[in-house]
Amino acid sequence: MPSISVKELLFWKKIQLSKGGDHQSLILLLDAVGGISSSDLNLSRINSGNNLYLRKNLDYLESIWKDHLLNSTPIQYLCGKTFWRDLKLIVTNKVLIPRPETELIVDIVFNIFEKNSQKLFFAELGTGSGAISIALALAYPLSYGIATDIDQDALEIASKNYKSSSKQSNLNFYCGNWWSPLESFKGKLDLAISNPPYIPKDTYEKLPKEVKNFEPKIALLGGQDGLKHIREIIQKAPLFLKEKGWLILENHFDQGPKVKELLFKNKFTSIEIVNDLSGIGRFTIGRYK
Ligand SMILES: C[S@@+](CC[C@H](N)C(=O)[O-])C[C@H]1O[C@@H](n2cnc3c(N)ncnc32)[C@H](O)[C@@H]1O
């Protein structure tokens, strides 16, 4: 294992950042590939005489950083990992990189359902890396959750992430189109969550290349107006939710009012648009009757 002094590593970090990129991405590279977490680094700063041990040498880390900067390859895919809430998740180009703004979905659930004691029955439609479902299964150990996706490769990653994050067995993974894997659970769900593909076609064509060239199209594109999947999810939700069951959706920055209207037309009540931390109406929630 290559050994390096704290001073050398801090100098190396400074050089890499001077070439471009952001601090958070470099921290991920050092942690996921180099094997040095930011807390290791902070501790070593205090005991600055101590050496650090890298899993890979600095030349190798530098070559990844170069690929990230030159080709706009998301650092998460190059490292095969991402941080999301308190989870460290495997990500490949088969799954969307879970976004920081989506972390708030879990807090919305915490606001609705008291933690720990709840024997929730929840489903997440379009789980991708599994981030949301895993966070909920861990926070509600007495719950039972089903995480679905149309992509079997994504489900395999989600299932690996669940196994490495939890010793529990309260989450299961099913493959299929939106509600179809849940046929045998009609009228039983306390909660359904989805962050579906919601980018309108025209916007999708203009996405930055680090998104469009690398992340799965199936995870992003929501048809002509972006609402194709949201419509399907809302229309069928009443069949699967319990009376008073909740539906929580993530949507594009300007879709809140339209999603609200769709929920209203499908007999939802307590409908609310919830802002993300930047004040954008990122989530729309409602209760079935
Ligand atoms: C925006 S990504 C969200 C992934 C993850 N839940 C997150 O928040 O990071 C949408 C997910 O929906 C899945 N998906 C797309 N079309 C679907 C369909 N018709 N039925 C089920 N899942 C679908 C994609 O494979 C992708 O994993």
Domain extents in the chain: 3-79, 93-288
Report DSSP state, residue 221: B
| Residue 167 burial (CB count, 10 A) | 5
52, amino acid identity:
L
- 37, 38, 41, 46 alpha-carbon torsion, rounded to 10°: -140
Spatial separation of the C-alpha atoms in residues 79 and 30, rounded to whole Å: 9
Inter-residue contact 136 to 260 (CB < 8 Å): no
Structure tokens at 226: 């972006």
Distance 222 CA to ligand 1 centre (A): 10
Spatial separation of the C-alpha atoms in residues 90 and 130, rounded to whole Å: 10
What's the pLDDT at 94? 97
Structure tokens at 144: 């039972």
- For the stretch 132-168, pLDDT in tens is 999 999 999 999 999 999 999 999 999 999 999 999 8
Distance 47 CA to ligand 1 centre (A): 45
Distance 156 CA to ligand 1 centre (A): 14
| Residue 282 burial (CB count, 10 A) | 24
Spatial separation of the C-alpha atoms in residues 108 and 174, rounded to whole Å: 24
Q: Identify the three-state secondary structure at position 33.
A: coil
Inter-residue contact 60 to 12 (CB < 8 Å): no
Q: Which one is the CATH code of 93-288: 3.40.630.30, 3.40.50.150, 3.30.530.20, 3.30.1050.10?
A: 3.40.50.150
As for ligand 1, residues whose beta carbon falls within 6 Å of it are 96, 98, 102, 125-129, 131-132, 148-151, 154, 177-178, 195-197, 218-219
Measure CA of the first residue to CA of the last residue in the chain; give whole Å: 60
Phi, psi angle pair for 219, to nearest 5° = -90, -10
Sites in the chain below the pLDDT cut of 70: 48-49, 116
Distance 44 CA to ligand 1 centre (A): 40
Buried b (16+ CB within 10 A) or exposed e, 231-245: bbbbebbbebbeeeb
Strands 171-175 and 144-149: parallel
What's the pLDDT at 48? 66
Buried b (16+ CB within 10 A) or exposed e, 77-116: bbbebbbbbebebbbeebbbbbeebbbbbbebbeebbeee
For a pocket test of ligand 1, which of 127, 177, 236 has the largest count of ligand atoms closer than 8 A to its C-beta?
127
